[in-house]
Chains A and B, each alone.
Chain A
């Protein structure tokens, strides 16, 4: 007997997460690696590898990250790669899926993703799920947390940062802002700054990401950050305290400015409530002191209250799933 299975998908630049109504979930790095040559294909035994497996074997592969700044890159290869990644992560999340099962999916996309990109996502998912629904990623986060009234969601992803003002209804265009900066921007800034100061150190995206995730901070005061780098193969300890903070501020300053703009342009009667209900989601919510930095930026407005989500990896997908499950059946039939 076939079942109706609801799926929430967060198709992110860095990570794709899937949560299903059967109580399962899976996440994978949004990357695919194709074998460089016959030798690598023979060694790996496959034409391509996905996610973490691809990263582990990246020296033998041509790595592709099909999403840039939250949208699918405009080429055939990226479309095909996204389709394979989606199929893979859904299979991971639903190993017990039967042939006749019907998948009803809600897919989170950046708040201001273009029409072309949304249509492309619909087209890709058409062959994978039976019904698909596009939802704004920050709205999905608000949905996951049941924060529909006067709250502001700041979703800091790898490719984009999405801000969305909630006021008890579906957010309009003016309630949403997408900044084309996110975790990847911070990685680039940190790499540039480190190489400027220590030109002979050896850096890889993995090293930078590790430093960001472990030490990234925005607080005014912090313990010194000393890390070990290789310089032509020789180990050495380097102080990166100031470099790290300055790079993080390059990411968070525009976010604080966008938060101020969204609050300042809101109905004055509800601004206080909005200021006191700010939620930071996405991978960027793990930056130490991000909540305090946003609160500090609102001092002139009368202060604010900022909290970070607990499950940054799955929060968007959970919201999308919840939405798809709560959507009345007759609405699903319309699409």
Chain B
């Protein structure tokens, strides 16, 4: 009895494994059929080369754009010129009204203010 049960289990197991293997092989064959043909070695090389060239061109373009943007932002910061039209309001008007930090030592401003104060005190005849 025991031997019979063992044989049956072995049979079921083997059958199941066999079934799985058959299904797997069938799927694999179908998948192979659906996949496009692998291009020949030379074609594959060409397309890889093209892709590499394109990628390197794109990379250098991106680099240029980054450099141009940096240059432009430096230029804008350096010139800090308001727009040309009279009466037109710049988009950053709110920021522009805030005090900016000077690159000059405060002694220059001190001297300038002193001169202006003494100018106000002096009499025209002096």
Contact yes or no, A326 B97, CB < 8 A: no
Contact yes or no, B87 A95, CB < 8 A: yes
Chain B contacts with A in 57-103, Cβ cutoff 8 A: 78, 80-93, 96-97, 99-103
Contact yes or no, B104 A148, CB < 8 A: yes
A-B contact count (CB 8 A): 108
A279 → B minimal CB distance (Å): 15
Contact yes or no, B112 A23, CB < 8 A: no
Is A221 an interface residue when CB atoms closer than 8 A count as contact?
Answer: no
**Also in contact, A334 and B113, with CB within 8 A (given A23-B92, A92-B87):** yes
> Which residues of chain B come closer than 8 Å to A170, judged between CB atoms?
108, 111-112, 115
> Which residues of chain B come closer than 8 Å to A24, judged between CB atoms?
82-83, 85-90
Contact yes or no, A311 B81, CB < 8 A: yes
Of all chain B residues, the one with the shortest Cβ separation from A169 is: B108
A194 → B minimal CB distance (Å): 34
Contact yes or no, B124 A115, CB < 8 A: yes
A170 → B minimal CB distance (Å): 5
Is A267 an interface residue when CB atoms closer than 8 A count as contact?
Answer: no
Chain A interface residue number, banded: 35 or more
Contact yes or no, A23 B108, CB < 8 A: no
Contact yes or no, B90 A328, CB < 8 A: no
Encoded as 1 (CB less than 8 Å from any B CB) or 0, chain A from 108 to 148 comes to: 00000001101100100000000001110000000000101
Contact yes or no, A328 B106, CB < 8 A: yes
In angstroms, Cα B80 to Cα A335, docked, is 27
Count B interface residues, CB 8 Å.
39
In angstroms, Cα B83 to Cα A19, docked, is 10
> Which residues of chain A come closer than 8 Å to B113, judged between CB atoms?
133, 327, 331, 334-335
Encoded as 1 (CB less than 8 Å from any B CB) or 0, chain A from 1 to 28 comes to: 0011110000000000001111111110
Contact yes or no, B104 A326, CB < 8 A: yes
Contact yes or no, A334 B117, CB < 8 A: yes
In angstroms, Cα B90 to Cα A328, docked, is 24
Partner of A23, one of B82, B99, B101, B110: B82
> Which residues of chain B come closer than 8 Å to A122, judged between CB atoms?
119-120
B55 → A minimal CB distance (Å): 40
Is A329 an interface residue when CB atoms closer than 8 A count as contact?
Answer: yes
> Which residues of chain B come closer than 8 Å to A4, judged between CB atoms?
97
Most chain A Cβ neighbours within 10 Å, of B99, B106, B111: B99
**Also in contact, A26 and B116, with CB within 8 A (given A318-B81, A326-B99):** no
- Please report B residues at the A interface, Cβ cutoff 8 Å: 78, 80-93, 96-97, 99-104, 106-113, 115-117, 119-120, 122, 124, 126
Is A93 an interface residue when CB atoms closer than 8 A count as contact?
Answer: yes
Contact yes or no, A326 B101, CB < 8 A: yes
> Which residues of chain A come closer than 8 Å to B109, judged between CB atoms?
326-328, 331
Contact yes or no, B110 A331, CB < 8 A: yes
Of all chain A residues, the one with the shortest Cβ separation from B91 is: A23
Encoded as 1 (CB less than 8 Å from any B CB) or 0, chain A from 202 to 220 comes to: 0000000000000000000
> Which residues of chain A come closer than 8 Å to B104, judged between CB atoms?
148, 326
A114 → B minimal CB distance (Å): 9
B35 → A minimal CB distance (Å): 62
Contact yes or no, B110 A19, CB < 8 A: no
**Also in contact, A322 and B80, with CB within 8 A (given A134-B116, A170-B112):** yes
A120 → B minimal CB distance (Å): 9
In angstroms, Cα B114 to Cα A331, docked, is 9
Could you pull out 12 A-B pairs where Cβ atoms are within 8 angstroms?
A3-B97, A20-B82, A23-B82, A27-B86, A115-B126, A133-B112, A134-B115, A134-B119, A314-B81, A318-B81, A331-B110, A335-B113
Contact yes or no, B100 A135, CB < 8 A: no
In angstroms, Cα B126 to Cα A116, docked, is 10
A50 → B minimal CB distance (Å): 13
